[in-house]
Chain A
Amino acid sequence: MKREVLRLENVTIENKGIVYLDDFSLTIVEGEIIGMIGTNHHGLDELIRLICDNISLKFGRVYFNEKVVNTYLWDTRVTNKVFLIDQKSRLVPDLTVSDNIFVLRKGFKKYVINRKMLNQQVNQTMQELGLKIDPNLLVSQLNSFERCTVELIRAVLTGSNLILLREINEVLSSSELSDFFDMIRYYRKQGISFLYIANHHEEVFQICTRFALVEDGRIVKFLFQDEMNEQHITPFVKPIENLEKKRRIHNSPVLELQDIRTEYMNGISCKVYAGECLTFLDCNNMLIQDLVSLFKSDQIEFEGSIIKDGKTVQSKKDFRNLSEDLIVIPENPIKNMLFSELTYLENLSFLVDQKIHKSLMKRSIYKSIEKEYIKEIGEDLKVSYIDQMSPQSLYTLIYYKALLYNPEVVCIVQPFLGADMYLRVHIAKLINRLKQEGIAVIILTIHVTDVLAVSDELYLVENGRLSQEDKIKENKSVKENYYRYRFEEKLKKNK
């Protein structure tokens, strides 16, 4: 008989009239990996807080290790022995790996720390997992994969029998994710349970033993192992349809990279055409930083040549021109590209002053912009405080900001990062809008999911080098087959 680790019984969470979880029932069994995706993110934060910290309920009960830990009748304020691993590190950056794993945990009461012994234990665990992470390394020196691994080991060694994973696929590349899944499978066999919340069912299906689809704080569908396939999930997901592709108008590229070599790039060459989208799928999560630095004309040493409009970019002036004609939309652009103290219209017009070389813009320019975009953006354009706006409206603002600036090339870093199903569809439409205006788009991503719908060309980069045979031409069926092949291959391997 299997043992129950967590049971949520008819849980309803309401705050200020908003229902976050509605009659939510879920049982997690020992050694089970529950995959969960939300068509929207509503209620998922509250679900995590409920499982970790037993927040107040309107109705229902929570059982952890077969004991009631939270009920609507009284507030317990007890924290459960559950670990959360997500995009944000919960480790102390200035301490070593072994200190983070052992010294900071509850119940560690030794006054004299035997570092040799701690390191030995870390090494032993690493060996079991087939990894090599120096226990004396500072956490700040770890990459995302190593950080997630250390958090996982810490959770296991602390004795937690339920680990929550939230959108870790957003910080791990495909190959890293595959390795991380191997570790999860290893610990699953030891009876540890996982709840993996992600944005894409493709990733979740590879690892989970049961799957739950959540919408508006309610579970709408459970899928069992034999049902975890495209046929069963397709009716529930909102796909990004392959958007209409235009024929190549210009034969000469707006931007060309020829044999670019940096610390992490090893002979990258590509041509970007107006109104087309080129995607770099970075399998090892190495390339993105260097390419962004190159496009932003930051101080980066490189070999090879950048050709813009048929001319090699050499002088400082050329680089300045390049940075004026190319804008980068970074990861999490809501945080990194918008100013909460400015109005929607001011945010929208923010880059225009650079283009017209005026630090103060006339009121008439604002009026003209408002007149031009009110039809497409709508009443959002008149909003004074953008803080309370929906992510959808803010993404519209970001992409229309780029559209208004009208550069020749827009480089987007991980455009679908952290976006729910509806937002992803919206972002895809916004990218297509850029293409329709004849702007060339370069997408830098570590995951293939979603980008295929907007890409005209896909370059697979492994260890900083282009995989020539995997360069995918503009062909719908080739793309789909390629994608399915990769997905099914992974599934086969995992089963």
Chain B
Amino acid sequence: MYIMKRTYIFPRVVRLLVSHAVITILFLTGLLFFIHTEHFGDMIVRIMIAEHILTLTLFYYRIFKPVKEMNRAFVAFSEGYTMQDIFNQRFEINAEHDAMIQRVNQILDKTEMFKMSKRQAEYLALQNQINPHFLYNTLEGIRSEALIGGMDSVAEMAEALAKFFRYTISNLKTMVTVEDELNNVRNYCLIQQYRFGNKIQLKIEYDDGDEEIIRNSKMPKLILQPIVENSIRHGIEPLIGQGSIVIRLQIVSGKLHIFISDNGIGMANDALLELNQKLKKTFPAVEESEQSGGIAMVNVNNRIKLLFGDEYGLHFYSTPQLGTDVEILLPVNESKAG
């Protein structure tokens, strides 16, 4: 992270103005005394011009440029491109302004914590409504009956469904291992295969030598499955012919890069640009997302950005009729894990 020691601009302005005023008054006074002295008068005027140039230069580098830098961060924040930059600036107006900004940061964090807990509560409510043990027992019952009746595929399907619900509803951890997430994706694809047959092929590739570290790394729960679901629903389902999903995982300099590629029908260019534009921003209007679709992807992206910062998240690459690639960037084994 590039957080630096903060410098305040207002004291700089005061110092510069005061010193400039004092110097100007001194020279003007001097000029009054030596106005009739040809040699000294000229020299004082020259020094004053030099002092003005120096003041302007200092003003440009020490005040104007830092304010410009701050302004860029404010613009990026107001347009929704970044959440962190205004809190991690090199310059602030003064200590009070800095304190206010940090307070806003805390409030935002609390709001987000509130949202997260709200979501957690929603999970719990859903859990109570469904009564998972009843559901699992029923699914186990279906599985036993199917095995006795020689219907292996029904038994497998019931088992996969039970596993899927157990992971989605009962596992209340926010962070899970990559291995768990991948198992959930495998399970989800298995369920989908009962619907689509062999139309969906799932392939998982790890980068050479890093498989063990990748498997044991922690990541937020339910990141991969919504993306795979999206690939199947919007990419592979309308596709005529064999569909494939490839998940590639790689660790580079403490960051987990996940590529999810499908060979589905892809996205129109305008839809792709709109989606990537939404993903660049941390707080898109929820109503807007709900209306224009892609809410699952925006939510997944928001979760990642809120948990780890602006530099992480999703990015889509897609070509109509040729498929879609989703790049997910996450930190590896962050302290927030668990």
Contacts and interface: CB of A to CB of B under 8 A. Distances in A.
A27 to B, nearest CB: 6
A27 B253 CA distance: 10
Contacts of A235: 319, 321-322
A492 B144 CA distance: 52
Interface stretch (B25-33, B104-112, B161-169, B244-252): B244-252
Among B250, B253, B255, residue most surrounded by chain A Cβ atoms (within 10 Å):
B253
A12 to B, nearest CB: 9
A1 B317 contact: no
Nearest to B82: A59
Contacts, number: 65
B324 to A, nearest CB: 10
Given A23-B280, A74-B65, A222-B325, A2 B73 contact: no
A25 interface: yes
Interface in B188-233: 207, 210, 213
Interface size band for A: 20 to 34
B76 A220 contact: no
B76 A59 contact: yes
Nearest to B312: A9
Nearest to B65: A74
Contacts of B311: 9, 61
Contacts of A72: 72, 76
A124 B325 CA distance: 45
A25 B280 CA distance: 12
B253 A1 contact: yes
B317 A219 contact: yes
A118 to B, nearest CB: 36
Contacts of A71: 2
B12 interface: no
Contacts of B65: 74
Interface in A1-54: 1-4, 9-10, 23, 25, 27, 29
Interface in B276-312: 276, 280, 311
Given A2-B207, A219-B317, A25 B69 contact: no
Nearest to B203: A226
A402 B290 CA distance: 59
A224 to B, nearest CB: 7
A68 interface: yes
Given A68-B2, A224-B248, A73 B322 contact: no
Contacts of B321: 235
A221 interface: yes
Interface in A367-387: none
A2 B317 contact: no
A74 B68 CA distance: 8
Given A27-B257, A73-B73, A221-B325, A1 B315 contact: no
A236 interface: yes
B317 A222 contact: yes
Contacts of B280: 10, 23
B254 interface: yes
Contacts of B319: 220-221, 235-236
Contacts of B89: 73
A66 interface: yes
Nearest to B322: A235
A1 B257 contact: no
Contacts of B248: 224
A4 B85 contact: no
B237 interface: no
Contact of B253 (A4, A10, A25, A220): A4
Contacts of B257: 27
Given A222-B317, A222-B325, A73 B254 contact: no
Nearest to B323: A221
A237 to B, nearest CB: 12
Contacts of A3: 252-253
Contacts of A66: 253
A233 to B, nearest CB: 11
A291 to B, nearest CB: 42
B327 interface: yes
Among A1, A10, A71, A222, residue most surrounded by chain B Cβ atoms (within 10 Å):
A1
A3 B251 CA distance: 9
B327 A4 contact: no
Nearest to B81: A59
B69 A73 contact: yes
Interface string A191-227: 0000000000000000000000000000111101000
B72 A73 contact: yes
B140 to A, nearest CB: 40
Contacts of A9: 311
A360 to B, nearest CB: 52
Contact of B259 (A23, A29, A222): A222
Interface of A: 1-4, 9-10, 23, 25, 27, 29, 59, 61, 66, 68, 71-74, 219-222, 224, 235-236
Top 9 closest pairs, chain A to chain B, by CB: A4-B253, A68-B2, A74-B69, A4-B252, A2-B252, A73-B69, A235-B322, A1-B251, A29-B252
13 contacts: A2-B253, A4-B253, A4-B255, A10-B280, A25-B315, A27-B257, A29-B250, A59-B76, A66-B253, A74-B72, A220-B317, A221-B322, A235-B322
Interface of B: 2, 65, 69, 72-73, 76, 81, 85, 89-90, 207, 210, 213, 248, 250-255, 257, 259, 276, 280, 311, 315, 317, 319, 321-322, 325, 327
Given A23-B315, A221-B319, A222-B317, 11 more contacts: A4-B253, A10-B315, A23-B280, A27-B252, A73-B69, A73-B72, A73-B73, A73-B85, A221-B317, A222-B327, A235-B319
